[in-house]
Amino acid sequence: MKRINLIYFSPSGSSNSIASEIGDNFSGDKVRYDLLRQTFEEVTFEKNELVIFAFPVFAGRLPAICLEKIAKFKGKDTPAIGVVVYGNRDYEDALVELVDILKENGFKTIGAGAVIAEHSIFPTMAKGRPDEKDREQILNFSNKCKDMLSLISEDMKIEVKGNRPYIDSKPIPLIPKGNSKCIKCGACVKICPVGAISIDDPKKTDKKKCISCTACIYICPERARGFSGPMYAAAAKTFESKNKERKEPEFFYADK
């Protein structure tokens, strides 16, 4: 391929990492589009390029903030791979939503997958994932997608798990905040995609703006931001109890 394009929204780093693992299995110049840290005007990709999309799952859907961002990327029957990343609960309608968007935007999705990674809000869930077993499956997936590149046809299509209409997008009630370790460096202020943190008092978080993406937690050099309190502790206990059974990655391929 002329160029391998990686497009991701990755507050905790997992989507970036998984997109990179898949992309490393393809030959060609790598171009990155980091939707958390950068803004883009409309970009159009050609047939001789590959585009890999990777996004986290927020309550069974793609993050609402990403929908407008994804719309700026257009294909001309450009081959694409779509991946959603979730923390061992369920990816529900996120993957079918991504596949639908890619089709609407002119891409030919050759492969799509749902991969498990450490949960960003409840990090004891799926801790250490993707693990060695996951990585073997991701490698196998990328190899099969590589084979699919020579089989792209005008009428090929892909079917994945999910429902239409999609489930309603629901806000996450848990909000991170800072603690006494905060040195007001401004890293969290700069990374927040919705402007929910003020440089005047970065320990606080605007509850009306925050989307609980956790970017502020993972960027903090002092580990001064996180979730806390009795509501969080109770939610963590319930979540872990309901979702302790190990989920496995799921992959889908376009028909030939």
CATH number of the domain encompassing residue 202: 3.30.70.20
Residue 154 and residue 201 in one domain: no
Mean pLDDT of 164-169: 95
Domain of 192 in residue numbering reads as: 177-226
Q: What pLDDT, on the 0 to 100 scale, is given for residue 170?
A: 86
**Domain co-membership, 27 together with 93:** yes
Q: How far is Cα 150 from Cα 109, in angstroms, rounded to an integer?
A: 13
Based on the fold, state whether residues 74 and 141 are members of the same structural domain: yes
In a domain, 104, yes or no: yes
The closest of 168, 211, 165, 219 to 191, measured between CA atoms, is: 219
Instruction: Pinpoint the alpha helices (H) of the chain.
Output: 14-23, 64-70, 94-104, 132-148, 187-191, 215-219, 230-242
Interval 141-152: pLDDT, tens: 999 999 999 888
Looking at the structure, tell me whether residues 17 and 119 fall in a common domain.
yes
Instruction: Report yes or no on 205 lying in a domain.
Output: yes
Q: Are residues 220 and 119 in the same domain?
A: no
Per-residue model confidence (pLDDT) at position 238 = 96
144, 185: one domain:
no
With a pLDDT cut of 90, the percent of the chain lying above it is 94
pLDDT tens digits for range 30-75: 999 999 999 999 999 999 999 999 999 999 999 999 999 999 999 9
One domain for residues 60 and 134: yes
Whether 30 maps to a domain, the answer reads: yes
Residues 136, 25, single domain; the answer is yes
Split into its structural domains, the chain has a count of 2
Q: Is residue 45 part of a domain?
A: yes
Q: 231 lies in a domain? A: no
